[in-house]
Each structure stands twice: as structure tokens, then as C-alpha cells.
Amino acid sequence: MPSDNVKGLLCDVEAEPLARYRQGGYHPVRLGDLFKNGRYRVIHKLGFGGYSTVWAARDEIANRNVALKIETSETFSTSRELEILQICSRSQNEPGSEYISKLLDAFRHDGPNGSHHCLILDILGSNVPAVLDEKFEGASLPREVATAVIKEVLCGLSYLHKQELAHGDIHTGNICFSAPSLAAATEGELLRILGSARIGEVYGQLEQSHTQGIPEYLVWPSHVPVTDVSTRTPIKIIDFGQSFTKSTKPRTLKTPLVLRPPEVLLDDDWDRHVDLWAAGCTIFELITGQPPFDSIMATNETLLQQMIESIGELPPMWQDKVPHDHSQKDTSTLQEWLEELVFDVDHPPEFRQEEVKEIGSLIGQLMRFNPSERISAGEAYRIWNSHFP
């Protein structure tokens, strides 16, 4: 099926929407395009998001493969990702920094749709959902992988908070496994790994004359092979497009709905404590393979009801905002749900009862309703490391 229809244009590639190729939108890219005076040459496509496209590129000077992230022009004056990564690049020797996506270079690129921030980042391997889908059929990660990933996420989050930074979008999709072999591969080796680039011509009739701002073709995103978790490499926390400092907090939080804390759902004041709630949800999912709350047809109201049923009463400051029928309790507590998912399996559970109690306790301390009562990422890391060194 065509992926989009813009003023009469069509393309059979399921990729970024053609409608976003306009003034303020995506920069049109062709395979082989050169950036920064010829230093970076595009060789494949890695993916796309609402505010960027991401490409595998060859650094002709450093003789290695990198990820080239080209942000939309409309975010040129408002994007915080470059600022956040630059702050991180000034403290790369501090504990936890090794689990943060590394900014290798950054520059401005002017194109037919405006000016774009271009970020050069490490080229990484699979994210957690891809590993789960392809290696474990959507189940949970093996014990030794899950416990190590959780420790590294908490360590990385602690590092960010010490820099007075908030990630703003912590979830399993933003946790990738490192892939040093991809960076070191020759161009031919990388193309064998990613597969040959497939393109789909943009065709049809425009209501207006064709402009340079619309690409000649779209490229199918490559398939990065799933990391072999039996010889696991460390993780990297990626995607800082929603990150913020104290003075640059966005007006809205775009974290997936089921990971948003109650202060966001209730449109109350919020800060970097949102990361702690999301970390608790992420730990739950890394252990069980499922998020703690039901995401089917979720709304702010239904999520708040689930939270009340599984965690407890809201603080007095919020109780008048959420009417609750105490007679309708039909869900498990968060601890009961955690234990059910860990132990109700058709194979020997990977965690002991006392370990699951400790894991549930830590999740509960991160997912306290009152943001100021949540334990810090550093304290969560110390607790986790004491149980799973």
C-alpha cells in the first residue's frame, strides 16, 4: 500500500510520511549524498521519527561507520537534543556516561526545506523490543541480560540527573545494545549486514510544480540484525529529543501514555522525577516482558484508575481530581502482578521469591505517587547493584 499521498504524490515505501517533506520538515536525502564538506557519505537508512530521519553514513576522515541524524528544519531553534548531548560530551569520564548515546560531531546543513541540525552518533545495534520479538518471541529477557540492562539504565539515568538533565522519554524502545562491530566494519561488510538499500520512487502528479524539497525516492529502513545477547555488550540510552534541563522543560511530555506518571496525567507541575516513574515501569517490563499497566484503549482516566487499584490512594492534593469507586477493585497490586508474570510460566522461573519481593520493592519506591518521595536514580542503582552485582 502507498505510504502517503501529498498533493498527488505517492510512494510504495513504508517509511516517513511524504507530507513532512515541506518547508520546516525533513531534509530530502539520496544515497551517496555528502555532508559537512564531503566528510560524511550516506550509504543506507537506519530509520525515522516524527522529527528526524537517521542514516548510516561513512566518516571518510575517521574511516568508520556512524549514524547521521538529520532533524526537521522546524526544530532548528527549539530542539534540545544537541544541547543535551553537548552537555554530556563535557563529562564523558564520569560513571554512567558510558551508557549514554555519544555525540561524535554536530553541524548545520542548509537544504531546500530550511536549516537542519545534523548529529553524528555511534551506530548501534538492536533495541530491547527488537531483541524480544526476534529472539524470545515477545517474552522477557534472560535473567542475566535483564539484570545487567537494568543496572546500566539506572547508572546512566543517575549520571544524567547529576548533570541536572532529564531524559524525558525512558522506555525499552530507547534502550539499544552497543554494536562496535558495525562501526568498525568496512562499507561492504556493513551493507552485507544491513542488506542492500531498497528504494521506492516518488511518483504521481503534483498540484503545484515539483520542488527540490520533495525526495526523488524513499529508502526502506534497513534491518539491523538482532544482537546476540549471549555475548551481550553494554546498552546505550538513546533519543534525547524530549530531554530537558531545569530551564528548558517542554510544555508537554511525549513519553508513551502508559509510562506517564500521575503528575503528567493530571496536568500538574512536573520535573525530572518523571524519569524515575518511567524507570520503574521499564524495570517491570524488562523483568516480565510486559508493562505494568494495560495499554489497550488507555486514556488518562483509565490509567489513573489502574494506578489507584494497583498502587493505592492518590495523595490528598490529587484526590478531588479523580473520582474513584472503591467497590470496583478488580486488579492485582503491582507486586501481585509482578509475581504472577514471573512465576506463572511453563518453565522454571529465573528469579527466586525473595528476589521478586526486592524487585517489587524497588519498583514501588520509584513509582511513588508523590514525585518528591521517589528514590533517586543513584539510590535505585545502589539498591539494584546490592542484589544483582
Write phi, then psi, for 121 (nearest 5 degrees): -125, 165
> For the chain, what is the radius of gyration of the CA atoms?
22
* Burial of 230: CB neighbours in 10 Å, binned 0-12, 13-18, 19+: exposed
* Burial of 297: CB neighbours in 10 Å, binned 0-12, 13-18, 19+: exposed
Contact 274, 281 (CB under 8 A): no
Comparing CA positions, the residue from 56, 52, 50, 121 lying closest to residue 89 is 121
Cα(384)–Cα(375) distance, rounded to whole angstroms? 12
Cα(43)–Cα(360) distance, rounded to whole angstroms? 45
Residue holding cell 564523558?
92
Residue 22 CB coordination number (10 Å): 19
Name the β-bridge partners of 114: 111
Name the β-bridge partners of 41: 34, 58
Q: Is 297 left (phi over 0), alpha (psi -120 to 50) or beta?
A: left
Cα(39)–Cα(187) distance, rounded to whole angstroms? 15
Cα(369)–Cα(177) distance, rounded to whole angstroms? 31
45 is in an annotated binding site: no
Residues 6+ apart with CB under 8 A from 229: 131, 135, 141, 142, 145, 177
Beta-strand pair 114-121/103-111: antiparallel
Cα(205)–Cα(147) distance, rounded to whole angstroms? 54
Cα(211)–Cα(21) distance, rounded to whole angstroms? 10
- Report DSSP state, residue 244: B
In this structure, which amino acid lies at residue 263? E
Write phi, then psi, for 249 (nearest 5 degrees): -65, 130
Beta-strand pair 64-71/40-49: unpaired
Positions at the binding site for ATP: 69
Q: Which residues are annotated as a binding site?
A: 69
